[in-house]
Structure 1
């Protein structure tokens, strides 16, 4: 059940890589085996984020021996949001699976994803049942999910990492959004397409070390928060609306104090003036923030990545 260069495959599996020389050959072999069992034609797309450890050489060797595998080499590291999303957009399949190269997204779940997709789900997402993280990181993750669930513009799926299957229509729809910093797991929910969740126990990394340090995880979380909770830009306006009545109340107490001869009258007037000035400042900051939001909504033309080259691209082979 292998795909030809001319005919788009039923299934694409996109695997982003960064310094995964110890895992890339094994994950490709495992994914290739599972996809051949379940799909009527498949391709594997490796998108490399400027690896420096020999991953690119390993990818070239794989592409030279397996016509179902092709690769995109980025000209620099574009991070863990932009590069995987770009790879998904470039895939040709009627359904596209995105997964990690380190075996923490089990290839054995491909069959279940495909089955649910054929049953009608436009999006199928893996949902972790457990997480082998330290107590501090687990607490931070739970707190982040709870906060985002309260302020996000759309429902948040806890313990969903982005490992999942996306129908061609979903992929093409999201590609049109031209998000410069795509929080993909949030975008699929925002799109409103039907979602099926598949619980799984996430295994340990097969080899190598994680590339998601505290700094990168914090950046990812902040980007997700900014991208999925635009209402945060209006928080200063809310503060201004709350502080306005407080300033009036302080002014009223100050006037009363002036009549009654209170010793704190001067402090009340000073507090009223300071509160009013802060409220006005927050109002203008909020308005500016909302204008920035509108501008970013209208000017999304930044490319996700710039390619250095492609290896074994079926479109080139077909030409």
Structure 2
């Protein structure tokens, strides 16, 4: 893993007019103290405040600031994927623009990378968020790892450093899942963590609504777990197993204890067993659909309106 001196920083932006310049100044100050150059790639994810104008002003003053403008809001994951496709650095850092990802961690992440670790996550050991958000995040990460085919790190967001070799393999894999942290985990590279306490947002309002959080959660579950498709199997096996037991119960009572049952009672048990077989058939069809989806999903996750300094 060759180590040079260019670091690419990818930052999705959605209505962050109060934070864009603050973040740039913090990053610029940090890199003035370390022996690395950097490029900053902002992805304007369909902002409807002054973000686009502020980004254009910054890019006109600094050639190392690149801006990609989406035609509309496609979401944070699409913005990250788009930004990664424009990087030139030897290491790539993705982070939020809301001021809750401390810029000071970049130096520690670079040190881990220099030691030979291709993926370095900033891990939230404590969050200054609402009780609801902390609870749902904890449940989500544990549930995802319980049903996922791969292990996705707990308590990490989009603040990470990845080596350029990781980016190359992401691009070869054609990222269409809409869940970047899952794709990076799927690649299987060695990883390290830099722990931090996540501060509260000081400026602006979050654009990450409950709907967007649910959509991100569903992307993670549906793209990296076949468990939802296998619900039919579990329901079917349960129905068949319990139905057969009850059928044997009726037969034993009928044959050995002269217990008679109405025809309707026999039919209910038989239908119950057949419903179990139907669930199993639904599972088989779902497995085929899942495999076709994974092989055929190729629709672009974003549309670019225009770019600056690219």
| Structure 2 segments unaligned to the other structure (5+ residues) | none
1:154 and 1:128 map into 2 onto residues whose CA distance is 21
- Per-residue CA deviation, residues 257-293 of structure 1 (Å, 9 max, x unaligned), is 4434436555652342232222122112211211111
2-structure distance, mates of 1:265, 1:39: 86
Q: Is the 8 A contact 1:89 1:172 kept in 2?
A: no
**Partner secondary structure for residue 16 of structure 1:** strand
Judge conservation of contact 2:81–2:175 (CA < 8 Å) in 1.
Answer: no
Q: Take 2:289 and 2:105, find their aligned partners in 1: how far apart are those partners?
A: 41
CA distance in 2 between partners of 1:36 and 1:292 (Å): 52
- Counterpart position of 1:301: 298
Query: 104, 109, 123: which one pairs with 2:105?
Result: 109
- Structure 2 CA distance for aligned equivalents of residues 172 and 35 of structure 1: 25
* Residue matched to 1:284: 281
C-alpha distance in structure 1 between counterparts of 2:32 and 2:69, whole Å? 25
Mark the CA change 1:273 to 1:37 in structure 2 (over 3 Å): closer, same or farther. Answer: farther
TM-score by length of 1: 0.90
2:49 paired residue number? 53
Q: In the TM superposition, what is the alpha-carbon distance from 1:95 to its structure 2 partner?
A: 0.7
How far 1:37 sits from its partner (Å)? 3.2
- Give the equivalent residue in structure 1 for 2:181: 185
- Does the C-alpha gap of structure 1 residues 275 and 35 become closer, same or farther in structure 2, counting only changes over 3 Å? farther
Q: Cα 1:227–1:35, aligned 2, differ >3 Å: closer, same or farther?
A: farther
CA distance in 1, matches of 2:182, 2:169: 14
Q: Which residue of 2 aligns with 1:168?
A: 164
Give the Cα separation in 2 of the matches to 1:304 and 1:28: 27
279-288 vs 234-243, which moves further: 234-243
Report the RMSD for the aligned CA atoms in angstroms: 1.9
Say which is worse superposed, 225-234 or 75-84, in terms of deviation: 225-234
* From 21, 39, 42, the counterpart of 2:17: 21
| Cα distance in structure 1, aligned partners of 2:265 and 2:37 | 75
Q: What is the DSSP-based 3-state SS (H/G/I as helix, E as strand, rest coil) of the residue aligned with 1:181?
A: coil
Please name the residue that 1:317 is paired with: none
SS in 1 for 2:227: helix
Moved over 6 A (4+): none
Q: Give the structure 1 partner of residue 269 of structure 2.
A: 272
Deviates more, 1:206-215 or 1:246-255: 246-255
Residues 109 and 14 of structure 1: CA distance in aligned 2, closer, same or farther (over 3 Å) = same
Asked if structure 2 preserves the Cα contact closer than 8 Å seen for 1:254 and 1:265, the reply is no
Matches within 5 A, 1:101-180: 101-180=97-176
- Deviation of residue 135 (structure 1)? 2.4
CA displacement 1:80-130 (0-9 Å, x = unmatched): 222222212321111100000111011111111111101101000000111
